[in-house]
Chains A and B, each alone.
Chain A
Amino acid sequence: MPEQRAIVQRDPRGALAWLGQGLLYALFALVVGVFSQWPPYRHLPSDQALIKLSFSHHGQRISACRQLGAEELAKLPPNMRAPTQCPRERAPVIVELDIDGTRVVHRVASPSGLSKDGASTVYHRVAVSAGEHRIAVRLKDSAAGSAFDYERVGTVQLAPARILVIDFDAEKGGIVWQ
């Protein structure tokens, strides 16, 4: 419509408008193009390696299971007369990690869940220089005593950027690293 053309004509026309538009969009594309991949980001310095201490493990029950007597069982509803009663709460898991004789991790992982009957979990990442390291890992999952239940000591050779994962797998004998 002619009236609409008259309204539109208020915008600048000609070479300046097109040049300005082009320059502006070139600038916008440049900003997006550059900052979508530059400058490069290096999360870990090139001469370092990573040690990840991570496990999800149920601590032992805080006290032993016990057998119920006949009198105690009789007081229970018939569908709940399990002869063995175990406390739900589990002991917190304590873990320590020494690298080259220095203590770098000491964690007390509480059991999860409102009744504290879930697994204790730990995830901790340590950056170390690449090369040979002596590693000692200790884990305690029982409530009794002060001695650690599991311990593993060894020497590892870590190449730059290598990730060493220290985990706990009871079926594989306890503390494992890969």
Chain B
Amino acid sequence: MLSTGAAAAVFQAAAVGAGGVDADGTGTGRAGGHRSGPQRAWQHVERRLDRVLGAKGNPLRHLGALGFFFFWWLLGSGIYLYAALDTSATAAYESIARLSREPWYVGGWLRSVHRYAADGFVVVMVLHLIREASLGRFRAFRRHAWWTGIALLLFAFTSAIGGFWLNWDQLGQFSAEATAEWLDALPLFAAPLSRNFIAAAAVGDRLFSLFVFVHVGVPLLMVFGLWFHVQRIAHAQVFPPRQLAVATALGLLALSFVVPVASHAPADLSHAPGPLAFDWILLSVHPLVDATSPGFVWALLGGTVLLLAMLPMLPRRNAAAAPAARVDPAHCNGCRRCFVDCPYTAITMVPHPHGQAAGRPARQLAQVDPDLCASCGICVGACPSSTPFRRGAELVTGIDLPQRPIDALRRELDAGLAARRGRRAFVVLGCADASCAPPVGADVIALDLVCAGQLPPSFVDYALRAGAAGVVVSGCREGDCAFRLGQRWTEERLLGIREPRLRAGVPREALRVVWPRPGKLRGVARALDDLRAQCDGSPGRAEVECDA
């Protein structure tokens, strides 16, 4: 375990990287060169906000979790409101009016919270979709979440629009009539739905039951939909960081208090509603239909959904998909660490085929689902067999990436250190998005990983023992990891709070961890300068350790 001071020293350079340095770094990350325009634009905004709010307080980095957060608020307030709602055509309006008066501090306030939470829910869902699309996170192992997310967005709008009908006021009347006329443009119904709203007598309790189903039943479907949405994501964040949750809740409550939601006059089907205090966030489809035509809006909606659904299947520039991780049963001891750490639940544990020893606990074996595997290598970093200290000409581990085997990493490290024998050498181990190019210095051995999470912590120990003067571990900034958890797991492993841990005896002063911005690798260069200065300023240490 590191002490507080040692941990702060190890992660000192990380603060530099996260602080957001404007000046160009000393090299360009590979991903920096491949980033698309939308990706660059989105990440630019995100990182600007990071400077002020930090990654944990930046709502753009937690849009999915914020969506869950608003959904929890909707469920909680909705249960109370539903208990107080008279679900009949003639009494619904009065029951909501009574709820808003008695007692206002619960009913009226909660009603406003319910509305604004719905607005917030839809806003963050749309932003979430734009973010994932901008970052290109919809292909391959993310297809499932992408498709279920599209369906959830449609469900959210359906339920939200239906909520306006339950308060049978002029806004609800307009929305119900407009929705019915829009649906009538489809050849689905034998009789026009709009006939349900031609006279007050036509709006009965039976129709209101349908309203209730739309507003209450669809969210119940959404609960299952959300479960499907995150089913293939391990350690899904369904609650935002505390400071973000508190700020969101306070904002929601304050807005509801300052601008409470009020009803319009009761619905009157003999008169068209007058000017409406209109919720443009949830009900924009109605003015759009008015301004164009029902057919146009159906075509627009269908086309948009189709385009979004097709995105994962469009050809990509680099068409070759990375091969999935491979398990070697002879070297897998069934420890489950890869199973726990895999960000996309691609690994399951199955009975080990090499027999079960009598009288001993049943052995297990990791099994990779290629369809779910992101080829990130985080499982390799988690595998205890990935330690480079193992003897043998070839380093064979329990689970490995064919495109970047752990044996090749050890060979490259050995070769690099051998080439600099007798001279000072620093090792940079970083993910392909955040590693450094040669300009960082001739005394540097830079080894790329698919993700920082692919690094077994014992490689740091190995490099130092093999003669490196210092080691820099670099990866994407917090929240930027293309594989979600690589940065977090690496950090925890190096801090000794997650298996496999970095050995306690490893000199922490020879290790730096940085999370630079893609293409802005000044943090890596600074960490190296810091290590060099440390060696230069410590003659005794330099003699013993810095000069191999």
Interface positions of A (Cβ within 8 A of B): 1-12, 16-17, 20-22, 24-26, 28-29, 31-33, 35-44, 46, 49-50, 52, 54, 56, 112-113, 118-119, 121-123, 125, 161-163, 165, 167, 178
B residues 183-199 near A (Cβ < 8 Å) are 184, 190-192, 194-195, 198-199
Instruction: Answer whether A6 and B7 are a contact pair too, CB < 8 Å, given A37-B278, A40-B276, A41-B287.
Output: yes
> Which listed residue, B49, B184, B290, touches A43 by the CB 8 Å rule?
B290
Instruction: Answer whether A29 and B255 are a contact pair too, CB < 8 Å, given A43-B272, A44-B272.
Output: yes
Whether B275 is near chain A, meaning CB under 8 Å from some CB there, is yes
Interface of B is mostly: helix
- Whether the pair B198, A10 counts as a contact (CB closer than 8 A) is no
Of the A-B pairs whose beta carbons lie under 8 Å apart in the complex, a sample of 29, sorted by A's number, is: A2-B3, A2-B4, A2-B7, A3-B7, A3-B495, A3-B496, A3-B497, A5-B4, A6-B11, A7-B7, A11-B18, A20-B49, A20-B53, A21-B52, A24-B53, A25-B247, A32-B255, A35-B280, A36-B115, A36-B281, A40-B276, A112-B191, A118-B190, A119-B191, A121-B195, A122-B192, A161-B274, A163-B269, A165-B199
What residues of A have a CB within 8 angstroms of the CB of B491 in the complex?
7
A16→B116 CA distance, assembly (Å): 27
A7→B487 CA distance, assembly (Å): 11
- Whether the pair B248, A54 counts as a contact (CB closer than 8 A) is no
Instruction: Answer whether A11 and B57 are a contact pair too, CB < 8 Å, given A3-B1, A6-B4, A167-B198.
Output: yes
Instruction: Answer whether A46 and B274 are a contact pair too, CB < 8 Å, given A29-B254, A33-B116.
Output: yes
> Which listed residue, A3, A40, A112, A178, touches B277 by the CB 8 Å rule?
A40
Whether B56 is near chain A, meaning CB under 8 Å from some CB there, is yes
Query: Would you give the shortest CB distance from A15 to chain B, in whole angstroms?
Result: 11
Interface positions of B (Cβ within 8 A of A): 1-4, 7-8, 10-11, 14-15, 18-19, 49, 51-57, 59, 115-116, 119-120, 123, 174, 178, 181, 184, 190-192, 194-195, 198-199, 243, 247-248, 250-252, 254-255, 258-259, 261, 269-282, 286-287, 290, 478, 491, 495-497
- Whether the pair B116, A32 counts as a contact (CB closer than 8 A) is yes
- Whether the pair B18, A50 counts as a contact (CB closer than 8 A) is no
- Whether the pair A121, B192 counts as a contact (CB closer than 8 A) is yes
Query: Would you give the shortest CB distance from B229 to chain A, in whole angstroms?
Result: 23
> Which listed residue, B56, B192, B252, B272, touches A11 by the CB 8 Å rule?
B56
- Whether the pair A32, B11 counts as a contact (CB closer than 8 A) is no
A-B contact sample (15 more), CB < 8 A, given A33-B259, A50-B272, A123-B181:
A10-B55, A11-B18, A11-B56, A12-B19, A12-B53, A20-B49, A22-B247, A28-B59, A31-B123, A33-B116, A38-B280, A56-B195, A121-B195, A161-B271, A165-B198
Instruction: Answer whether A113 and B190 are a contact pair too, CB < 8 Å, given A29-B255, A32-B120, A36-B119.
Output: yes
